[in-house]
Amino acid sequence: MSRKILIIYTGGTIGMVQDPVTKSLIPFDFERIIEKVPELKSFNFSVKSYSFNPLVDSSDMNPEIWVQLVTIIETNYNNYDGFVILHGTDTMAYTASALSFMLHNLQKPVVLTGSQLPLGTIRTDGKENLITALEIAAAEVNGQAVVPEVCIFFQDKLYRGNRTTKYNAEHFRAFRSDNYPALAEVGVHIKYNFPYIRYGVTQDPFRVSKVMDTGVGLLKIFPGINEQFVSAVLNSSGLKAMVLETFGSGNAPTSKWFLKEIEKALNKGVVILNVTQCLAGSVEMWRYETGIHMHEMGVLSGYDITTESAITKLMHLFGEHQSIEDVKTCLNKSLKGEILF
């Protein structure tokens, strides 16, 4: 029996064509995808598509849409062998991270891809991205999926979704994963890096989480940051957790007022997760004085997690758990391969 793959088109550049009259980019009817990518007829597996209506610009991506996505996958999980999600590039890493936490006991590929140029343009990167993402989603050995996790494929690399960051708005290689190796490299052949692919050992049934708590904030430290600004952010109404983007290996200002504001927030029950602003490397709060102080106060290390993954992990954990202690315990664990100790 041939394998079946479902394309879920959320929106984004890949599904655009040029209007013959206005010359502006408009979405095309994705049910007619075969006309744009006739190569799909040559696959030895079947491809069906589902299109969001209305389509979603990736800048408007939010947890409600993530819930829609996991619900679509849940509804179709037993009918398909893999899923390819077409998505705008700007927030693709956030969506991939969120889905990795919301999909439990996943045994099938969920591959996100998109493009920097629309399918309707001559030099589009979208066609190759789509074709290869579909091949990866359909890849199997002895009936088992080769990559049974949430991934991003772009240009010639397959990355773990919750390890990925968009770093380039111009080049076709738009994403990178500095703290974790590529799951596959694509040239003439698709070469899978099997030791780095996450294979579930549980026999528990597939399930999804559908509650994401948006009481999460992001505070990026910069030279000259002032007390009034930090205080306003940390005292935001409804704030449950703050991702603190610090310098280097977890460093922040040594000013007394800064540490005082952090301590006040912690005493109010706000969870603070320290992540590095660097694309590569890990938070090591024991290395410098400020980090040691923050650790002693109760600031948690994000280790080598990406900012996108940190934010979505916190949203997921506060949606799943009532207890702050349970949230903190889970932050110190790798739930879906998002951190290494």
Could you report the per-residue pLDDT of 182-222, keeping only the tens digit for each? 999 999 999 999 999 999 777 899 999 999 999 999 999 99
Could you report the per-residue pLDDT of 71-96, keeping only the tens digit for each? 999 999 999 999 999 999 999 999 99
Q: Assess whether 35 and 79 both reside in one domain.
A: yes
Q: Assess whether 177 and 227 both reside in one domain.
A: no
Predicted confidence at residue 272, as pLDDT, reads 98
**Inside any domain, residue 220:** yes
Q: Assess whether 173 and 227 both reside in one domain.
A: no
Where are the alpha helices (H) located in the chain, listed in sequence order? Answer: 33-36, 63-76, 92-102, 126-138, 227-234, 256-267, 289-297, 307-320, 324-331
**Inside any domain, residue 141:** yes
Is the pLDDT score of 1 beyond 60?
A: no
Q: Assess whether 315 and 192 both reside in one domain.
A: no
Q: How far apart are CA 125 and CA 142, in angstroms?
A: 32
13 tagged catalytic: yes
Q: Residue 38: pLDDT band by 50, 70, 90 thresholds? A: confident
Domain end among 189, 208, 227: 208
Q: How far apart are CA 38 and CA 98, in angstroms?
A: 32
Domain end among 159, 187, 208: 208
Q: Assess whether 142 and 232 both reside in one domain.
A: no
Q: Assess whether 198 and 228 both reside in one domain.
A: no
**Inside any domain, residue 336:** no
Q: Assess whether 230 and 203 both reside in one domain.
A: no
Here the CATH number for the domain that contains residue 283 is 3.40.50.40
Q: Assess whether 31 and 156 both reside in one domain.
A: yes
**Inside any domain, residue 337:** no
For residue 231, what are the domain limits?
A: 216-331
Q: How many domains does the chain have?
A: 2
Here the CATH number for the domain that contains residue 126 is 3.40.50.1170
**Inside any domain, residue 340:** no
Residues in Cβ contact with 221 at an 8 Å cutoff, skipping those fewer than 6 apart: 244, 245, 246, 247, 252, 253, 277
Q: Residue 121: pLDDT band by 50, 70, 90 thresholds? A: confident
**Inside any domain, residue 167:** yes
Q: CB 29: neighbour CB atoms within 10 A?
A: 11
Q: Assess whether 139 and 228 both reside in one domain.
A: no
**Inside any domain, residue 101:** yes
Q: Assess whether 77 and 162 both reside in one domain.
A: yes
Q: Assess whether 37 and 109 both reside in one domain.
A: yes
Q: Assess whether 77 and 167 both reside in one domain.
A: yes
Q: Please identify which of the residues 13, 124, 165, 290 carries the catalytic annotation.
A: 13
**Inside any domain, residue 12:** yes
Strand pairing class (4-9; 82-86): parallel
Could you report the per-residue pLDDT of 320-334, keeping only the tens digit for each? 999 999 999 999 999
Residues in Cβ contact with 292 at an 8 Å cutoff, skipping those fewer than 6 apart: 285, 286
Domain end among 151, 179, 208: 208
Q: Residue 30: pLDDT band by 50, 70, 90 thresholds? A: low
